[in-house]
Amino acid sequence: MSTLLQAENLEVHFPIKKGVFSRTVGYVYAVDGVDFHLNKGETLGIVGESGCGKTTAGMAVMGLTPATGGRIMFADRDLAAMRRYELKKLRSSMQLIFQDPYSSLNPRMTVNQIIADPMDVHGVYLGRERKDRLAFLLETVGLTPEQGRRYPHEFSGGQRQRIGIARALALDPSIIIGDEPVSALDVSIQAQIINLLLRLKREFDLSLMVISHDLAVVEYLCDRIIVMYVGKIIEEAKYADLYKTPLHPYTQALLSAAPVSDPLREKNRILLHGDVPSPINPPTGCRFHTRCPKRMDICDKVEPEFTEMGEGHRVACHLYTAESGV
Amino acid sequence: MKSEHLLEVLDLKTSFYTFEGVARAVNGVSYYLDKGETLGIVGESGCGKSVTASSVMRILPEPPGKIEGGTILFDNQDLTKLSQKQMRRIRGGRIAMIFQEPMTSLNPVFTIGNQISEMFILHKGMSRREAMEASADMLDRVQIPAPKARVHEYPHQLSGGMRQRAMIAMALACEPEILIADEPTTALDVTVQAQILDIMLKLKEDTGTAIQMITHDLGVIAETSNRIVVMYAGKVVEEAGTVELFTKTLHPYTRGLLASIPLLGSRSAGTQQSLSEIKGTVPSLFEIPSGCAFRQRCKHAMKICAEREPELEQVGSGHAVRCWLHIPQEKR
Ligand SMILES: Nc1ncnc2c1ncn2[C@@H]1O[C@H](COP(=O)(O)OP(=O)(O)OP(=O)(O)O)[C@@H](O)[C@H]1O
Ligand SMILES: Nc1ncnc2c1ncn2[C@@H]1O[C@H](COP(=O)(O)OP(=O)(O)O)[C@@H](O)[C@H]1O
Ligand code: SF4
Ligand code: SF4
Ligand SMILES: [Mg+2]
Ligand SMILES: [Mg+2]
């Protein structure tokens, strides 16, 4: 398996400005030193609760939000060292699908114009090729070429998400990042879009990154999953390992808290106290120590390193480090 | 008028008069709620869940909204016939409501304590001091830390989860007979959602309040409700006890929904390999098809489905379904 994209010790800190002189009075440690990679042909999931830095991490690897630390590598090339034309090419090979199909499409453009826009920007599929390309893309996502002449408001939420996906496919990308791609959709429409993404991934040999707070959606879509908490990755595993043997107390709590649409399933709910801490003042040591049911003396003092717990399964928690292991 | 139930809604019809035409948001909905139970009302966005709730509470924006027909029986009176003045005595005190967005019921310019106290003063006739103490007690019961200090804070000083808890404290302050919860945890993180649902169900045990839980989330419904009503395009399409609804699902729409949602842990366990889809989309209220509203998306649609609308048919104890497949030949 070849690595397409790699983030090393990635940091995105947003300055908090105050007063007339816009003094920086602190930082939002939105993404605070994370390592991850995306392999060719796989689907990587990023899960975690609101504000933990999922979107920011995704934007940073796309170069849409500047990283304030660490490196992002594409096939051994450093994003920061790339020249303008290289960046432009990279942008075309990496595309985003947004959560909100309502606000991500320009209401004054026809669907054809929306999908063609990236082709204009990059000067591809010009002249006679254009019409065929548009028809192909629309049919690929389950719309008809006739629908290309209509405006976004004439479509339902699920259809608008299809339009967004067609636009993302316009430049033959190799990577697609979906930020909550089905969260805004009706329950009966979510499966249509999930199945569409899975089919496109196969047909176009895509690598996907799926960002979502919905644990069931991520399990269904992804090969490998990263769990984030207040700007940090706390666990990473292949999907089945994560759901069958979650190791980090936060992952365990998260999975146990998710409501399951099966009234006969037995639930052992781990109830956490309090809210997710703010990334402006992240807790010392292990960031989960303020809510962790298994916290120990060391936990608020020393930040846990990753421990490898099996093939591709790593966890950052003192329960598994050599010194304090149980 | 008498009803054997705590709350009984019969053939409720609520419409909105808009420029595009008349939107029949709630088009003949009937259901009941018994003492101490949790009834789940589930359905996709726009199917009329919130409009049903606002009709019961009589907080519908009128105009453009209008209750066009039906009865809402509570304590031997028809709520649709009461004046707003009479409703004020019921609302908040005997029937309370909480929303997805806590700021719908919290006022930003008053302290949390002030707002909860108001409930005790209005419905329980307490003095201001007694009411403030009772408010702190209420905040404690919804697990807000340092409740004696928090009563003096304003809503913006609380986190999202705490605001939600404060709203629940306010709603349950007077131990209402009914709590209508409209997507109470939809905007919250899962770990906070679990806390809030736990708090709601515990308070319910203490007070005997009956809950009408409205949500689009079948997981939340499965875990909180003992009976479920499924709505589609302004109508009830299926109704059953929770286990029965999930295990002996009858309506093609309910079946489709259950088969289309990824079930947590199932792919990992190897028990769910593919998601089936419901084709098409929910019809707009201005283009609801003739006959059965689900027929354009239904795999089983027959000739009769386009011609006549099926009635809600009782098919077992407490199980009812609105579908021609389950209406015996002699009744067609
Ligand atoms: N441009 C910005 N300026 C300042 N702070 C920001 C900015 N963008 C994001 N943040 C903050 O960074 C943190 C992480 O945000 P991010 O959007 O990545 O979270 P998320 O995990 O995607 O959450 P959600 O599930 O709510 O989408 C949050 O505290 C957020 O408020
Ligand atoms: N104030 C309003 N004006 C016009 N239409 C409305 C209004 N409120 C709700 N509706 C319509 O009524 C229908 C049912 O809405 P609602 O009960 O809010 O759905 P949900 O089941 O998602 O809670 C929707 O089609 C909605 O657009
Ligand atoms: S390091 Fe300590 S506080 Fe953090 S998750 Fe592990 S046990 Fe809990
Ligand atoms: S009545 Fe007909 S169209 Fe409607 S759900 Fe039943 S079979 Fe399908
Ligand atoms: Mg996000
Ligand atoms: Mg609603």
> Helix/strand/coil (H, E, C) string of chain A?
CCEEEEEEEEEEEEEEEECCCCEEEEEEEEEEEEEEEEECCCEEEEECCCCCCHHHHHHHHCCCCCCCEEEEEECCEEHHHCCHHHHHHHHHHEEEECCCCCCCCCCCCCHHHHHHHHHHHHCCCCCHHHHHHHHHHHHHCCCCHHHHHCCHHHCCHHHHHHHHHHHHHCCCCCEEEEECCCCCCCHHHHHHHHHHHHHHHHHCCCEEEEEECCHHHHHHHCCEEEEEECCEEEEEEEHHHHHHCCCCHHHHHHHHHCCCCCCCCCCCCCCCCCCCCCCCCCCCCCCCCCCCCCCCHHHHCCCCCEEECCCCCEEECHHHCCCCCC
Amino acid at site B255: R
- Interchain CB contact of B159 with A (< 8 Å): yes
Smallest CA–CA distance, residue A262 to chain B, in Å, is 6
Residue A263 to residue B258, Cβ atoms within 8 A: no
Question: Residue B165: which domain range?
Answer: 95-173
- Interchain CB contact of B173 with A (< 8 Å): no
Encode pLDDT of B90-138 as tens digits: 988 899 999 888 888 889 999 999 999 999 998 889 999 999 999 999 9
Smallest CA–CA distance, residue B89 to chain A, in Å, is 35
What is the pLDDT at residue A59?
A: 92
- Which atom in ligand 4 lies closest to the alpha carbon of residue B300? 7
Q: Which residues line ligand 2 (CB under 6 A)?
A: B 16, 18, 23, 25, 43, 45-51, 61, 64-65, 285
Sign of the C-alpha dihedral, residues A272, A183, B187, A283?
Answer: positive
Size of interface A-B (CB pairs under 8 A): 147
Residue B306 lies inside a defined structural domain of this protein: no
Residue B131 lies inside a defined structural domain of this protein: yes
Residue B31 lies inside a defined structural domain of this protein: no
Do residues B113 and B144 touch, judged by C-beta distance below 8 A? Answer: no
Q: How far is the CA of B233 from the centre of ligand 2 (A)?
A: 10
Q: Which residues of A touch B246 (CB under 8 A)?
A: 261-264
Which positions of chain B have pLDDT values less than 70? none
Residue B6 lies inside a defined structural domain of this protein: no
State mean pLDDT over A55-59. Answer: 94
In chain B, pLDDT over 90 holds for what percent of residues? 67
Residue B167 lies inside a defined structural domain of this protein: yes
Q: CB count, 10 Å around CB of A262?
A: 20
Q: How far is the CA of A169 from the centre of ligand 1 (A)?
A: 26
Q: How far apart are CA B173 and CA A140, in angstroms?
A: 55
Q: Which residues of B touch A261 (CB under 8 A)?
A: 218-219, 221-222, 246, 258, 261, 263
Residue B276 lies inside a defined structural domain of this protein: no
Residue B192 lies inside a defined structural domain of this protein: no
A187: pLDDT confidence band, cut at 50, 70 and 90? confident
Pick the residue with more confidence: B157 or A224?
A224
Q: How far apart are CA A149 and CA A145, in angstroms?
A: 8
Q: Which residues of B touch A257 (CB under 8 A)?
A: 190-191, 193-194
A326: pLDDT confidence band, cut at 50, 70 and 90? very low
pTM (2 decimals)? 0.89
Q: How far apart are CA A320 and CA A308, in angstroms?
A: 9
Do residues A61 and A3 touch, judged by C-beta distance below 8 A? Answer: no
pLDDT, mean over chain B: 92
Smallest CA–CA distance, residue A91 to chain B, in Å, is 32
Residue B62 lies inside a defined structural domain of this protein: no
Q: How many domains does chain B have?
A: 1
Phi then psi dihedrals of residue A268, to 5 deg: -110, 85
Phi then psi dihedrals of residue A150, to 5 deg: -95, 170
What is the pLDDT at residue A322?
A: 66
Strand order in the sheet with B21-33: B21-33, B7-18, B65-74, B77-78
Encode pLDDT of A86-118 as tens digits: 888 888 899 999 887 778 899 999 999 999 999
